[in-house]
Structure 1
Amino acid sequence: MIVENSVHEVKKRENSLRIIKEIIQYEGRNQLYDLTGLSGGFLLSKEDLKLLETYVGPAIFEEQLEKIGKEHLGGDKVLGLNRTSSGILATIMALVRPESYVVHYLPKLPSHPSIPRSCSLVGANYLEFEDLENFFIPDDTSLIVITGSTMDHQVIEVEDFKKIIKMAKSHSESYSGIEIPVLVDDASGARLRPVIFNQPSAIELGADLVVTSTDKLMDGPRGGLMSGREDLINEIKSKAHQFGLEAQPPLVAGMVRGLENFNPENLLESLEKKQDLIKSLNSQLGGFEETPTGVMISPEVLSFEIENQGIKTDLSDSDISFTWAMVLLKNYGILTIPAVGMPGASPTLRFDLASKDAKILNLDELKKIILNSFKELLNLVDNPEKCREMIFY
């Protein structure tokens, strides 16, 4: 195995960032195509920049974030954080008792690592489920977490969402009357679920708290936006400030402008494009699946497709995916999550057609790049040392 731990994942990411820098320096930004769906950015004006001071910035932009954040997510009060993971950590630190349970339901495993890791930090027990038939809530439960859309854009069914909310409320009434808060990790789901799947917001479905990523499927910076019950937000905000998890003025300003600029039509336009791309790809390679806004191929399926080519490899499924991601970046300027993701990010190769850069990349050209880069991958996978070099150097 090449990428064995979080340190290796960081090293891989550092190599990817070096390659990105070289592409921009020597070829220009227009030769880099960010198809992660996480491109984000800061849509700040010159007037905004003048206000990004330690205390002036919050005075101006936090009030704006409160207004537009509640329009986007619902809820009584809003909190800006430096990442969605920071919001999850602050929530667990504020609301979860040591040795109590955090129960997590998501449409498909694995969960985002920030949830079990945060539980470990506070000494809480963690349970996760992807099957409602097995889902249960232990008596001593402090928090229930629902993932609206997974790292690979598997989206929860509305009826499953409602059942969990009902179970949480029923359990609260029967177990000493202590209410169990429900937090929804809606990192990309806060936009995917309402826009693509016509689902109500998490708050409308009865959640107490919801957190989203302001760089996922929108033109905002990498940050976390939380909304929900005012009493819970107040507790979480206090904990966030104690540990430096809150969003700083530039981030808050960027969130405001990103939310103002959010246009659901950008997501809807990707629907027709993905149908064309997946049909074209699977006619020659196979194994690709639809995502709400693009196409993807999992490490397991990718490994199977390589076996179908008659090639044997000692690489793990994830290492194969990482290697292909680096081939795409280094040789074609195609940026995907396995190349630059944070430790614990999904190794699934996903091509997001709602990304800004996808609009300037012809679908036929993208198909050609994917197929040609796969052929290059086939020439690498039987040589672990060459793959290691591709990933790390």
Structure 2
Amino acid sequence: MLIKNSLDEMKKREISLSVIKSIIDNNGRNSIYDLTGLSGGFLATSDDLSLLETYVGPAIFEENLQNLGKDHLGGEKILAVNRTSSGILATILTIVGENTEVIHFLPEFPAHPSIPRSCKLVGAKYSEFENILDFKNNFSDNVSLVVITGSTMDHKVLNEEDFKSAIKVAKDNNIPVLVDDASGARLRTAIYSQSKATDLGADLVVTSTDKLMMGPRGGLMAGNSELINQIKTKAHQFGLEAQPPCILAMVKGLENYREDDLKNSLSKKEELINLVNREFQMFEETPTGIKVSEKSLEEEILLNNYEINSKISSRDLCFLWAMILLKDQNIITIPVVSMPGASATVRFDLASNDAKELDINNLYNKIKKSFESLLKIIDNEDLAKEILFSI
């Protein structure tokens, strides 16, 4: 295993950011393609920026944030936090007591690591289920919070009927429901025509304002006013709240969000799927693009009759391919820039802003060339380490 722990993941991320800077310094921003679907943006005028003072900023932008946030997520009140993970942590710090249980229902393992980590901080038991019957059968009197994931890190979307069933179980037991809808707040509604989490009965929902929209890396919460007030108090106690620049960027991102931008990515997705499926067996469809999991990548390599060095894990293979995509093809995918514990799945998101200007045949050729480059290094541990940990 080349990436052994969170420190290695952070080193890999720092190398990737240095590579990105070098590419842009040498060839300009238009030379690189961010296909993570998490690229976000900071849309603001010079007049907006002049208001970014500690207290003036929130006073000016808070009302717009409340109105736009309610339109986007529903609920009675909005809270801006500095990341989705911050909102999850603040919620668990507020609601979950020591030795109680948090039970999590999601469409596919694993959960985002911020959820079990937050439970560990407060001394709560944590369990997760991807089958609705297992979720129901393991519901106990000790549960203090139900968490539901609307769309996973790899964009697996929860069936709406199961969504409703999980909420009903919680409601029947008077337990609050938090929905982790980081990308789902847009994927579920725009692509799958599902209802907002609050309209389905959730007490709280949190989304990432940089995922599939031109907003900052931040979190937006909505829900029951009383709960939001309690969570807001806790967030301010621990410095988890969003600061004025982030709030401004959230407002601008929400103002500029259009469902049609996601829907328009579907035709490009179909074109790319047709191309890659002629050559490979490893690709899976996502709502707005394609992806390759750790297992699928390893199986594809073995199908090509290549031997993988025993020190290189299937997770390492994803990191290596993603780094080759960045260094050789100027394509950013999530594994090179992800935070520790995030999914290693390599995803090409065609709803990303940069994908609008990228020719699909060109993208296919970049994917093919990078995979061929990967095959040349997977039997060489030293060369693989050099790819991952050197600029």
- Settle same-fold status: TM greater than 0.5: yes
Query: For residues 284 and 186 of structure 2, what CA distance do their matches in structure 1 show?
Result: 20
Query: For residues 272 and 28 of structure 1, what CA distance do their matches in structure 2 show?
Result: 28
Deviation at 1:190, TM superposition (A): 0.2
Q: Which runs of 5+ in 1 are unaligned?
A: 173-178
Q: How does 1:23-42 map to 2 (within 5 A)?
A: 23-42=23-42
> Hey, what does 2:208 align to over in structure 1?
213
> Hey, what does 2:107 align to over in structure 1?
107
Query: Structure 1 residue 65 and structure 2 residue 65: aligned?
Result: yes
Deviation at 1:159, TM superposition (A): 0.5
Query: For residues 273 and 342 of structure 2, what CA distance do their matches in structure 1 show?
Result: 23
Query: For residues 186 and 280 of structure 2, what CA distance do their matches in structure 1 show?
Result: 31
Work out the percentage of aligned pairs sharing the same amino acid.
59
Query: Structure 1 residue 295 and structure 2 residue 290: aligned?
Result: yes
> Hey, what does 2:160 align to over in structure 1?
158
Query: For residues 175 and 280 of structure 2, what CA distance do their matches in structure 1 show?
Result: 47
Q: Give the one of 247, 254, 267 matched to 2:249.
A: 254
Deviations 1:107-148 (A, max 9, x none): 000000000000000000001001112113111111000000
> Hey, what does 1:386 align to over in structure 2?
383
Which sits farther off after the overlay, 135-144 or 26-35? 135-144
TM-score for the superposition, normalised by structure 1:
0.97
> Hey, what does 2:195 align to over in structure 1?
200
Q: Give the one of 197, 217, 221 matched to 1:222.
A: 217
> Hey, what does 1:125 align to over in structure 2?
125
Query: For residues 340 and 387 of structure 1, what CA distance do their matches in structure 2 show?
Result: 17
Q: Which runs of 5+ in 2 are unaligned?
A: none
> Hey, what does 1:371 align to over in structure 2?
368
Query: For residues 105 and 353 of structure 1, what CA distance do their matches in structure 2 show?
Result: 28
Which sits farther off after the overlay, 306-315 or 365-374? 306-315
Deviation at 1:204, TM superposition (A): 0.5
Contact 1:285/1:371, CA 8 A, preserved across alignment: no
> Hey, what does 2:139 align to over in structure 1?
137
Q: Secondary structure at the match of 1:251?
A: helix
Query: For residues 229 and 359 of structure 1, what CA distance do their matches in structure 2 show?
Result: 38
Output the amino acid matched with 1:156: L
Query: For residues 389 and 229 of structure 2, what CA distance do their matches in structure 1 show?
Result: 43
Which sits farther off after the overlay, 213-222 or 305-314? 305-314
Query: For residues 285 and 189 of structure 1, what CA distance do their matches in structure 2 show?
Result: 28
Q: How does 1:238-277 map to 2 (within 5 A)?
A: 238-277=233-272
> Hey, what does 1:175 align to over in structure 2?
none
Deviation at 1:272, TM superposition (A): 1.4
Q: Secondary structure at the match of 2:64?
A: helix
Output the amino acid matched with 2:377: L
> Hey, what does 2:183 align to over in structure 1?
188
Aligned length: 386
Output the amino acid matched with 1:352: D
Query: Structure 1 residue 148 and structure 2 residue 128: aligned?
Result: no
Query: Structure 1 residue 358 and structure 2 residue 355: aligned?
Result: yes
Query: For residues 153 and 329 of structure 1, what CA distance do their matches in structure 2 show?
Result: 22
Q: Secondary structure at the match of 1:283?
A: helix
> Hey, what does 2:46 align to over in structure 1?
46
Deviation at 1:276, TM superposition (A): 1.3
Contact 1:83/1:223, CA 8 A, preserved across alignment: yes
Which runs of at least 4 in structure 1 moved beyond 3 Å after TM superposition? none
TM-score for the superposition, normalised by structure 2:
0.98
Q: Secondary structure at the match of 2:107?
A: coil
Output the amino acid matched with 1:161: F
Query: For residues 243 and 68 of structure 1, what CA distance do their matches in structure 2 show?
Result: 26
> Hey, what does 2:3 align to over in structure 1?
3
Contact 1:12/1:339, CA 8 A, preserved across alignment: yes
Query: For residues 280 and 286 of structure 1, what CA distance do their matches in structure 2 show?
Result: 11
Q: Secondary structure at the match of 1:143?
A: strand
Q: Secondary structure at the match of 2:145?
A: strand
Query: For residues 346 and 248 of structure 2, what CA distance do their matches in structure 1 show?
Result: 31
Deviation at 1:287, TM superposition (A): 1.2
Which sits farther off after the overlay, 127-136 or 287-296? 127-136
> Hey, what does 2:231 align to over in structure 1?
236
Query: For residues 27 and 265 of structure 1, what CA distance do their matches in structure 2 show?
Result: 31
Deviations 1:167-212 (A, max 9, x none): 1112x2xxxxxx2100000000000001000000000100000000
Deviation at 1:165, TM superposition (A): 1.0
RMSD: 0.6
Query: For residues 384 and 48 of structure 1, what CA distance do their matches in structure 2 show?
Result: 51
Deviation at 1:166, TM superposition (A): 1.0
Deviations 1:24-70 (A, max 9, x none): 10011111100000001110110110000000001011111011000
> Hey, what does 1:176 align to over in structure 2?
none
Q: Secondary structure at the match of 1:99?
A: coil
Deviation at 1:97, TM superposition (A): 0.7
Deviations 1:81-102 (A, max 9, x none): 0000000000000000100000
Output the amino acid matched with 1:277: L
Output the amino acid matched with 2:178: L
